[in-house]
């Protein structure tokens, strides 16, 4: 089966959970209305289904290859990318000054989900371009913006994020790539690894944003700077000219996303790659985090998207596959009649809908931070966005491992066969907990910087909202009672970490992951209960019953996991490090 974007579900989440009406009212996005929104979603859905989804299997089988120093992408990718650019999809939420349409990030995130579901390997290219555009727009000088941004916003040139080295993965403080001043530019020398879409020939230029250390700069992360390094140097008229001294020297052979070229990039093999400083010297990591935070939300969305595609595929198979017999039913029924299969489908759907709700709520915060004229409103949404980002990235990409695995399981033996496509989604999803800072790093960011940074203010404010949503303790329905109890446990976990982390330096690393999963599991329940209440208020009986059933299932089958994570936070720190390192 092909992928069909769940447009009505996306719109429901945007309107009922993410506060689309509030975003419509923000100054700067008044041009968007409900009719335009619907038209854009429908056209994007057609593009994802007709142009991108057919590439998913082709891309997985063919992969990208390095041939005579050039990266060759699978059949159909270049043509699809050109259609993508011609339709203006990349610039949808970008600044109108540089050719963008200035529409809300919330709308962009829905379209990004469609692309990720249809063909994640393709979607990674424009996703990283979007991150590079944000960083250059925030930190580049006026000349850099005027020369590069229009081409990047249009998609004529793509962008990359180049950080990692063989000895510098999560710990960027030990980056060795150097930048030597040379007139109005720098010459970079070094080698970077794991560079997604680091090179290709779908466009006539690639704009690399590279983390390097200026010669003589301090050691550690405080001595890193960010540089713009184009694949082709520009002529006086702004067109690509001489090839810069930066090349893909090999491609990684990966578990999944085979069509996305993951490059080893070499800078300065022939004297030095010309690069231009972005922002201030030694402030590269701060500049890079503009890219990273955007990319982390997008990677969390990949968890939603791959979960949706796996669910659609599993439902289609379960309706068609005839196997077994249910007592009291006639033989020859499809496996969707088996309670255990429906249990697995409900797990897949509940997880995915909960994660979508959380991701879209975070995306709406981005719009408020950018457009909201009220300082208090901006501050509220900025704090909420800071708190949600590591949860969206970490929790969503963890649960998609379960969702895509269940997709294989529902297919039975056929799920283990590549032709069905279930295994590809399982393989493609595995990179997401690693991308843009491993989930252990996301967890420590949540428990450290985000929780401790404001003394828990943003977390406790959110938990207060959950309590208010649930109402009084007496006579609550089972789902709300479980949600309220879970919120109390998360509050206790947060207080425990705040009280003990400074005295026990190992605490955060030992239990932070469980804290992140506890938070994500609880917030997922909150989004589904909100969805159930909103659906019932709309007066659509089938939608209301469906959302209520999903929220109820989540409350009984998934939310109890939050209690287990809570127990781990409260009691599990010592046991995690009880075994001496040399005993492993």
CA dist 562 → 12, 75, 388 (Å): 26, 45, 17
CA dist 334 → 317, 319, 349, 415, 420 (Å): 9, 6, 19, 16, 17
Q: How does pLDDT run across 443-478, given as a tens digit for each residue?
A: 999 999 999 999 999 999 999 999 999 998 778 899
For residue 547, is it within any domain? yes
CATH of the domain at 213: 2.40.110.20
Q: How does pLDDT run across 65-106, given as a tens digit for each residue?
A: 999 999 999 999 999 999 999 999 999 999 999 999 999 999
Q: How does pLDDT run across 251-276, given as a tens digit for each residue?
A: 999 999 999 999 999 999 999 999 99
More confident residue, 503 or 301: 301
Q: How does pLDDT run across 165-199, given as a tens digit for each residue?
A: 999 888 888 999 999 999 999 999 999 999 999 99
Confidence of residue 408 (pLDDT cuts 50, 70, 90): very high
For residue 247, is it within any domain? yes
For residue 127, is it within any domain? no
Which residues are marked as active site?
Answer: 436
pLDDT of residue 476: 86
Query: What mean pLDDT do residues 513-528 have?
Result: 98
Instruction: Tell me if residue 274 falls in helix, strand or coil.
Output: strand
Domain that holds residue 276: 158-282
pLDDT of residue 185: 98
Q: How does pLDDT run across 198-211, given as a tens digit for each residue?
A: 999 999 999 999 99
- Encoding tokens for residue 379? 């501050």
The residue with tokens 């990030």 is 105
CA pseudo-torsion sign 385, 389, 391, 397: positive
d(CA 65, CA 233): 24
The residue out of 282, 298, 323 marking a domain boundary is 282
The residue out of 282, 300, 317 marking a domain boundary is 282
For residue 327, is it within any domain? no
- Encoding tokens for residue 516? 């992140």
Q: Check whether 388 has a pLDDT greater than 80.
A: yes
β-partners of residue 181 are 186
For residue 508, is it within any domain? yes
Q: How does pLDDT run across 143-156, given as a tens digit for each residue?
A: 999 999 999 999 99
β-partners of residue 243 are 232
DSSP letter, residue 336: G
Closest alpha carbon to 546 in 20, 12, 110, 7: 12
More confident residue, 172 or 327: 172
CA dist 347 → 26, 107, 232, 272, 326 (Å): 36, 27, 48, 53, 21
330's CB contacts (< 8 A; 6+ apart) are none
Query: What mean pLDDT do residues 521-549 have?
Result: 97
For the packed helices 284-320 and 422-429, what is the interaxial angle rounded to 10 degrees? 160
For residue 268, is it within any domain? yes
Q: Give the count of domains, the chain.
A: 2
d(CA 161, CA 196): 8
For residue 319, is it within any domain? no
The residue out of 282, 304, 336 marking a domain boundary is 282
Burial class (CB in 10 A: 0-12, 13-18, 19+), 254: middle
For residue 371, is it within any domain? no
Q: Check whether 506 has a pLDDT greater than 90.
A: no
């Amino acid at each position: 089966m092909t992928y069909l974007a769940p447009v009505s579900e996306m719109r429901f989440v945007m309107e009922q959970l993410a506060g689309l009406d509030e975003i419509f009212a923000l100054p700067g996005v008044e041009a968007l209305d409900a009719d335009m929104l619907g038209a854009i979603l429908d056209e994007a859905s057609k593009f994802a289904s007709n142009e991108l989804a057919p590439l998913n299997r082709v891309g997985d089988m063919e992969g990208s290859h390095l041939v005579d120093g050039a990266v060759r992408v699978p059949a159909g990718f270049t043509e699809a990318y050109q259609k993508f650019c011609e339709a203006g999809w990349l610039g949808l939420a970008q600044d109108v000054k540089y050719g963008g349409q200035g529409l809300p990030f919330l709308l962009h995130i829905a379209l990004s989900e469609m692309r990720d579901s249809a063909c994640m390997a393709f979607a990674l290219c424009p996703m990283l371009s979007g991150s590079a555009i944000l960083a250059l727009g925030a930190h580049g000088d006026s000349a850099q913006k005027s020369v590069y941004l229009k081409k990047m916003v249009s998609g004529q040139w793509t962008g990359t994020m180049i950080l990692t080295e063989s000895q510098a993965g999560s710990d960027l403080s030990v980056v060795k790539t150097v930048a030597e001043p040379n007139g109005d530019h720098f010459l970079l020398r070094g080698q970077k690894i794991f560079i997604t879409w680091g090179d290709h020939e779908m466009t006539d230029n690639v704009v690399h944003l590279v983390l390097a250390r200026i010669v003589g700069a301090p050691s550690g992360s405080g001595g890193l700077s960010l540089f713009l390094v184009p694949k082709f140097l520009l002529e006086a008229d702004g067109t690509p000219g001489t090839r810069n001294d930066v090349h893909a020297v090999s491609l990684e052979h990966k578990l999944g996303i085979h069509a996305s070229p993951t490059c080893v990039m070499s800078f300065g093999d022939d004297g030095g790659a010309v690069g231009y400083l972005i922002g201030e010297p030694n402030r590269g990591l701060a500049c890079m985090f503009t890219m990273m935070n955007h990319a982390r939300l997008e990677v969390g969305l990949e968890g939603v998207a791959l979960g949706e595609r796996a669910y659609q595929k599993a439902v289609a198979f379960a309706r068609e596959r005839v196997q077994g017999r249910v007592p009291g039913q006639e033989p020859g029924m499809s496996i969707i009649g088996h309670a255990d299969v429906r249990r697995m489908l409900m797990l897949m759907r509940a997880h995915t809908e909960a994660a979508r709700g959380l991701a879209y709520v975070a995306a709406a915060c981005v719009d408020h931070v950018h457009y909201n004229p009220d300082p208090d409103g901006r501050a509220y949404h900025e704090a909420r966005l800071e708190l949600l980002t590591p949860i969206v990235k970490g929790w969503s990409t963890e649960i998609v491992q379960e969702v895509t695995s269940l997709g294989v399981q529902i297919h039975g033996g056929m799920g283990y066969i590549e032709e069905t496509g279930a295994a590809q989604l399982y393989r493609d999803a595995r990179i997401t907990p690693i991308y843009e800072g491993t989930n252990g790093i996301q967890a420590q960011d949540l428990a450290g910087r985000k929780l401790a940074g404001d003394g828990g203010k943003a977390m406790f404010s959110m938990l207060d909202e959950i309590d208010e949503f649930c109402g009084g303790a007496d006579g609550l329905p089972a789902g709300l009672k479980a949600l309220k109890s879970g919120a109390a446990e998360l509050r206790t976990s947060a207080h425990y970490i705040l009280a003990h982390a400074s005295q026990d330096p190992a605490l955060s690393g030992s239990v932070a992951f469980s804290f992140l999963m506890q938070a994500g599991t609880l917030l997922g329940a909150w989004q589904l209960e909100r969805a159930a209440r909103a659906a019932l208020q709309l007066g659509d009986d089938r939608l209301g019953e469906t959302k209520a059933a999903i929220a109820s299932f989540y409350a009984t089958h998934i939310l109890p996991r939050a209690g287990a994570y809570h127990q781990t936070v409260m009691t599990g720190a010592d046991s995690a490090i009880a075994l001496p390192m040399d005993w492993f």
